[in-house]
Amino acid sequence: MTVATGLTALPQAVTLDDENSQLLVLDQTLLPNTTQVLRLKEQSEIRQAIKILQVRGAPAIGIAAAFGAYLAAKQYNGDDRQGFIKHFSCAKDELAAARPTAVNLCWALQRMEQVIIANQDKSVAVLKELLKEEALRIEAEDKAVCRSIGENGLTLIKDGDGILTHCNAGQLATSVYGTALAPVYVGMERGMRFNLYCDETRPLLQGARLTAYELTTAGVDTTLICDNMAASVMSQGWVQAVFVGCDRVAANGDAANKIGTSAVAIVAKYYGIPFYVCAPFSSIDKNCASGKDIPIEQRSPEEVSELWYANRMAPASVKIYNPAFDVTPAELIAAFVTERGIIQPPYAFAADDKFK
């Protein structure tokens, strides 16, 4: 369950074992100290893996949901089309409820649903095969998309640049290469070298546990910093660009990403450092007018107060606010790096035909 980038083999976040009717998930809650691959068969297990971040990152969540929907369909016994469609619909709704912010989750499930809508006259056996083909197509498309994002993002940086990233938008968040880290990996394949600065990304430490893990494994010069150190690093001239991923882009260019991203964008703007959002077109929600319309997932307070501590580190009586994401306003984003090219402001994703 590994995938080669031309640099090194890193664990693959999610893949399908069709022979055994299982979804294979690298448990990212255990990284970097333990590498464990989960073998999931039941919808409740797959939904839970998405919800508690055993699989995470917008593209990887979409792939996991597509495979999960197919496996649910595969479990159906019988030839009754209406019963099969109802069974599939229930599984789709269950998966869709796992996390509200990442648009790729619902996007992938809607693609799977369209297969059934377009082929309702087919037998249950044929529908199952068509769903499998669509899920594999979603995975294959993601691989091509990530490579293209890497190629396009590489045009924005040069050999030896310092790059700051927040959260994890690398291979562990996609099928291969990643989004925000794709330019780094593609550049390294061509002999280029970069200096990466990883925000630790509280409270779940995706930067410390995941980004630092995969970058150092790939041989990238990597420095881990606390979230509140970004301004200090930028002020010393060590950062020439910021690359982040995102979970949803609104029609006006506002982008929701892991909590703390907007603060990085504000600081980058002050120091005149370009702030780039790397996102596949599947993350653009043209039906969402602005960042105000993006649902922000609220997570357990225990993630802040006790998850990483032997003893609780905050008073039991204190209130805790723990949103998983924040929204970076479009005016702070220098460009979007997509599989179709670099998109410069002003952003009008709903109105422009080229974004269809």
Catalytic positions are 247
Number of H helices and E strands in the chain, helices first, is 11, 16
Q: Are 14 and 173 in contact (CB under 8 A)?
A: no
* Angle, in degrees to the nearest 10, between helices 124-154 and 182-189: 70
Running DSSP on this structure, what letter comes out for residue 323? B
Helices (H), 119-160: 124-154
Q: Is-cis flag, bond preceding 329, omega within 30?
A: no
- The answer to whether the peptide bond before residue 32 is cis (omega within 30 degrees of 0) is yes
Nearest partner of 86 among 48, 127, 45, judged by Cα: 127
111 within 8 A of 66, measured Cβ to Cβ: yes
